[in-house]
Amino acid sequence: MKHEGKKLVWQEYQKEIADDHFFYARSCIRQTFFPGSEKVFTKILKDELGKDVYDSEHHTSCTGIGYHADAVPFETTMTVVARQFALMTEAGYENYAASCITSFGLYTEILETWHHFPEVEAKAREFLFKATGREFKIPKNLAHASDIIYKFRHEIAEKAKYRLVDKNTGKPLRVVEHIGCHYSKMFPHKGVGGAEYPYVLTGMIEAWGGEVIDYPERRHCCGFGFRQYIVQANRGYSIACSKKKFDSMEPYEPDMIITNCPGCPMFLDRWQYALSEMEGKTYGKNGNGIPVFTYEEVAGLVLGYDPWEIGLQVHQVPAEPLLDKIGIEYDPGSKFKGPNGEDLGHPEAPSYLKFYKE
């Protein structure tokens, strides 16, 4: 097949992604807002693909949000990251898989810093040993968890129960892909497809039957901005960034948004709700929003996992329009039920955004 234009550019940025034996580091935001996604990631790797994933109880945050909100010094962050590497080394692993994009970007930045300034690495080793008695080896392979799902996208497609296709028309779904800024904006050669045309999510979408929308603000930040969201007085920055993206993608009538960063899906989900409450504006059809998904959730959906087992009920923008369009089977009545089918009540309906209960 002849590749031209952007597809040709994408071909130029490929990265090595380990095949097996991953040391998995969880994400502060992912586990708080989308714990089902981390469950799906480990389930797919272990149960569907037969891979070995080590889930350490001892690792912590990399402190990345604290670092990028400027409350945590670089030396502290580097030493905490060194401790994560030590836990990996002690467990007998060499391939580090980060659930978080901020972490992935920070690990990359730290490894690059250590490469160019060996004395900084020596200091981090000294600090770590002094504080914990631990030592570490540099990971042989560093991947973001989305890199790994990307690597196995065709295997997932072979096992898929559903495709990202409109069941009525047979046409591919129109998908917005949103890449976390720190995936490759700092170090383009460390991301699949680089920074301008990252291919990591596009590859999944194409392999699973969808069609990617190329809209003007495709690469704009979701608006997290660390301190720009953490501090209430600054949140205008955050919602303004998301609004800019929604306004830009709306004319292309996307069926869904897929993200690879822990924070982005939360912001793109919640800010749609906030904008609807503030302005009465919804970005989907008939009072619906544009459903936002993590790539793990989408992988789980195409594999036929129950939407409420993977966590779609904790999204503020309902996923049902998308589930119905694909033809995914689900029980509307169990959406807000507990693990044993117990009644947990249900959230209040928003003022404008269409609400699905049963």
Partner 1 sequence: MGKLYDKLAEDVRFVESLKACINCGTCTAICPAAEFYNYEPRVIATTVQSQDDSKIEELLKSETIWYCGECMSCKTRCPRGNAPGLLIIALRSLSQDLGYFTASEKGRQQLAIKRTIGEWILKYGYCVNPDLLNPRLHPEQGPVWEWERDNIEPVMEKLGANYHGDGPGALRRMSDDDLEEIRRIFDITGGTERFDKIEKFSETKAEEMHLELGHDIDSEYFDYVYTTNNSKHTKS
**Residue 345, interface with partner 1 (CB under 8 A)?**
yes
Other Cβ atoms within 10 Å of 264 Cβ, number: 26
Instruction: Scan residues 191-210 and list those touching partner 1 (CB under 8 A).
Output: 195-196
Instruction: Scan residues 277-336 and list those touching partner 1 (CB under 8 A).
Output: 308-311, 313-316, 336
- Please, which residue, 54 or 162, has the CB nearer to partner 1? 54
Q: Which of 211, 244, 352, 356 binds partner 1 (CB under 8 A)?
A: 244
Single out the segment in contact with partner 1 by CB under 8 A; choices: 90-98, 142-150, 226-234, 291-299.
226-234
**Residue 248, interface with partner 1 (CB under 8 A)?**
no
- Please, which residue, 236 or 251, has the CB nearer to partner 1? 236
* Helix, strand, or coil (residue 51): coil
Query: What is the rounded CA–CA span in Å between residue 320 and residue 324?
Result: 6
**Residue 71, interface with partner 1 (CB under 8 A)?**
yes
Establish how many alpha carbons lie within 13 A of residue 130's alpha carbon, considering only the half-sphere containing its beta carbon. Answer: 8
Instruction: Scan residues 173-192 and list those touching partner 1 (CB under 8 A).
Output: 181-182, 185-186, 188
CB 96 within 8 A of CB 85: yes
CB 165 within 8 A of CB 172: yes
CB 324 within 8 A of CB 301: no
Say if residue 241 is exposed, middle or buried (CB neighbours under 10 Å; 0-12, 13-18, 19+). buried
Q: Which of 61, 108, 146, 288 binds partner 1 (CB under 8 A)?
A: 61
> Long-range contacts of range 226-233, CB-CB < 8 Å, 24 or more positions apart?
226/65, 226/68, 226/69, 226/70, 227/69, 227/70, 229/267, 230/65, 230/69
Query: What is the rounded CA–CA span in Å between residue 160 and residue 24?
Result: 24
Q: Which of 203, 210, 223, 265 binds partner 1 (CB under 8 A)?
A: 223
**Residue 51, interface with partner 1 (CB under 8 A)?**
no
CB 141 within 8 A of CB 95: yes
**Residue 356, interface with partner 1 (CB under 8 A)?**
no
Q: Which of 13, 15, 63, 176 binds partner 1 (CB under 8 A)?
A: 63
Single out the segment in contact with partner 1 by CB under 8 A; choices: 8-16, 218-226, 248-256, 324-332.
218-226
Site string for partner 1, 122-161 (x = CB under 8 A): -----xx-xxx-----------------------------
